[in-house]
Amino acid sequence: METHLPITPVQYLFAAGTPLKSLRANKRGSRRGKPLIYIVDDEVVLLDVAEMALGGGEYQFKKFGDPEEALSSFRKESSPPDLLITDYAMGKMNGLELIERCREIAPGLKTILTSGTAGAEIMHNAATPANEFLKKPFPSTSLAELVQQVLASK
């Protein structure tokens, strides 16, 4: 049995090698008209980590600790999010299942799958693989660069 100690978003980013100066997100300005990113992870602290890593006012966020809650919200959106970032190993539904179900609604949905327990090979036999994979823990700069790359892709 693994024991998980409480960890703050700053401690997580520090462990991943993120320089402290990159944690200073610019919170000024409206996020209207900005890309909407869904972030799904059953480790709630990692939702804040991802938002901090992508902070600066460039994006809108909706964060979910439960993949079924994320799927329910996804179904209610008048237009789908621009990007789904999801963890792989979650209790009720894994990240690849969430991606598959969301793409049934929005086939062109861009996605990033993250995992601290599995590698990119989990996507090889997936019915609907993610656009990209990112191994945890990751430096905030890696997530920010990957998000920009995926959003810019056609």
**Structure tokens that stand for 37 in this block:** 């990113």
pLDDT in tens, the chain (154 residues): 444 445 555 555 555 555 444 443 333 333 358 999 999 999 988 898 888 888 878 899 999 999 999 999 999 999 999 999 999 999 889 999 999 999 999 999 999 999 988 878 888 888 889 999 999 888 888 999 999 999 999 7
User: What integer pLDDT is reported at residue 27 of this predicted model?
Assistant: 36
In the chain, the N- to C-terminal Cα span, in Å, equals 43
pTM, rounded to two decimals: 0.79
Q: Residue 94 has what pLDDT?
A: 95
- For position 104, what pLDDT does the model report? 96
Report the pLDDT value the prediction gives residue 105, as an integer from 0 to 100: 95
The rounded distance, in Å, linking the Cα atoms of 38 and 143 is: 14
Q: 6 preceded by cis ω (within 30°)?
A: no
Contacts of 137 (CB under 8 A, 6+ apart): 12, 15, 16, 116
Q: What pLDDT is recorded for position 121?
A: 82
Q: Output the pLDDT for position 139.
A: 86
Which structural domains are found in the chain, ordered by start?
Answer: 9-18+31-152 (3.40.50.2300)
- Of the candidates 120, 135, 127, the one whose C-alpha atom is nearest the C-alpha of residue 103 is 127
